[in-house]
C-alpha cells in the first residue's frame, strides 16, 4: 500500500514518523491513546507486535491494530470555534469546569484543538485532524501571527512608554517576550481598546506582559489566526473552514515545504545521534539520502 501523506514539490512523499504519531495520523485516537494501544501490544508492524512508540514507520511498512490495517488520512477536517469566556481549553477539565468537551461532542471524530486559550480569554480557537498543520500553526519557526483585542480600564495616550515596551520586549520569568505590533483602535477617558499582534505567543504571554507593565486589563479576545478571522461567528458557535481558508492558513505558516524541511532536519539530527551512539538507523539514513536527491532535482 503506497501511503500518499505529504505533498512536496510536484510529488507526494511519505515522511517516516514515530509509531505513536503514525497512529495519531491514521486513527481518531489522540497520541496518548495511541501509546496506550502500543503498550498493550495491540499494534503490529510488519506482522510483529511492537511496544516501542518511538519506532520509526516507513512507507513500505504494514501497520495493523487488532488486525485492522492502518494508513494516514488522505483528507482532513478543519474547524474554527468562537470560544466563550469561562471555558478551559482542555477536552475534560479535572475540576469540573466548562471545557471543550461540549463542542467536541458535536464535531467530527478525531479533531483536536490547535493550541489553547486560557479560561478567561475568548475568541478564535482552531480544531483539526491534521497534526502537521497544527504543528505549523504553533511552531515559533513558522511565525504564524495572531491578532488579539484588549480592553483596558484606563486611558492610554499615544506616547505612553509602556506601548513601546510591549514591542521592544521585556523579561518575564527569565524569558524575553515581545509582541509584533500594538495599535490603539478606540479610547475614552475611562478605557482603551488595543489590537495586539504576535507570532511567538508563550503561555498567557499578553496577560503577563500587561500585568508586568501595570496595565488594567479587563478583557482579552483573539480575533484572528493568520488570515482567518471570526467575522460574524457567534460566541459558542463553530464552523468548518473552506478549502481556500485552509490553503491560506498553510501559506501563512510558510507552506507545506517548510514543514517538510523541518521534519527532515529533525530526522537528520536523530540519525546523527543514533550513529554517534553506535546504533545507526540504516533505513533512515537511506531515506534521508533519497530525500536529498529529490531536493536537488526540485531545485534545478
Active site residues: 118
| The three cell numbers locating residue 280 | 545507526
Query: Would you say 84 and 121 are in contact if contact means Cβ atoms under 8 Å apart?
Result: no
Please report where in the chains the cell 505558516 appears, as a residue.
Answer: 253
CA distance 236 to 228: 17
CA distance 74 to 79: 17
Query: Would you say 56 and 282 are in contact if contact means Cβ atoms under 8 Å apart?
Result: no
Count other Cβ atoms within 10 Å, centred on residue 121: 20
CA distance 73 to 87: 30
Inter-axis angle of helices 131-138 and 19-26, to 10 degrees? Answer: 110
| The three cell numbers locating residue 202 | 508563550
Taking the alpha carbons at both ends of the chain, their separation in whole angstroms is 30
Q: What is the pairing mode between strands 238-240 and 78-83?
A: antiparallel
Nearest residue to 248 (alpha-carbon basis) of 80, 97, 98: 80
| The three cell numbers locating residue 62 | 504494514
Amino acid at each position: 500500500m503506497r501511503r500518499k501523506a505529504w505533498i512536496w514539490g510536484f510529488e507526494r512523499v511519505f515522511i517516516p514518523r514515530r509509531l505513536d504519531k503514525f497512529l495519531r495520523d491514521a486513527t481518531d485516537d489522540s497520541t496518548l491513546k495511541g501509546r496506550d494501544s502500543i503498550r498493550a501490544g495491540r499494534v503490529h508492524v510488519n506482522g510483529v507486535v511492537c511496544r516501542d512508540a518511538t519506532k520509526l514507520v516507513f512507507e513500505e511498512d504494514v501497520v495493523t491494530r487488532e488486525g485492522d490495517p492502518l494508513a494516514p488520512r488522505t483528507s482532513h477536517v478543519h474547524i474554527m470555534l468562537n470560544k466563550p469566556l469561562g471555558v478551559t481549553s482542555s477536552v475534560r477539565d479535572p475540576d469540573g469546569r466548562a471545557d471543550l468537551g461540549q463542542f467536541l461532542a458535536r464535531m467530527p471524530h478525531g479533531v483536536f484543538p490547535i493550541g489553547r486559550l486560557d479560561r478567561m480569554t475568548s475568541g478564535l480557537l482552531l480544531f483539526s485532524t491534521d497534526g502537521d498543520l497544527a504543528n505549523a500553526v504553533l511552531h515559533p519557526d513558522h511565525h504564524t501571527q495572531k491578532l488579539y483585542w484588549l480592553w483596558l480600564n484606563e486611558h492610554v495616550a499615544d506616547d505612553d512608554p509602556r506601548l513601546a515596551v510591549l514591542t521592544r520586549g521585556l523579561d518575564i520569568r527569565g524569558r524575553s517576550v515581545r509582541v509584533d505590533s500594538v495599535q490603539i483602535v478606540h479610547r475614552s477617558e475611562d478605557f482603551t481598546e488595543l489590537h495586539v499582534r504576535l507570532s511567538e505567543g508563550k503561555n498567557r504571554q499578553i496577560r503577563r506582559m500587561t500585568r508586568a507593565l501595570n496595565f488594567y486589563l479587563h478583557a482579552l479576545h483573539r480575533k484572528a489566526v493568520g488570515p482567518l478571522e471570526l467575522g460574524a461567528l457567534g460566541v459558542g458557535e463553530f464552523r468548518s473552514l473552506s478549502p481556500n481558508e485552509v490553503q491560506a492558513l498553510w501559506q501563512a505558516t510558510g507552506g507545506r515545504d517548510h514543514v517538510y524541511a523541518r521534519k527532515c532536519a529533525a530526522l537528520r539530527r536523530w540519525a546523527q545521534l543514533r550513529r554517534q551512539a553506535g546504533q545507526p538507523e540504516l533505513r533512515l539514513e537511506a531515506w534521508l539520502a533519497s530525500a536529498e536527491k529529490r531536493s536537488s532535482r526540485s531545485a534545478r
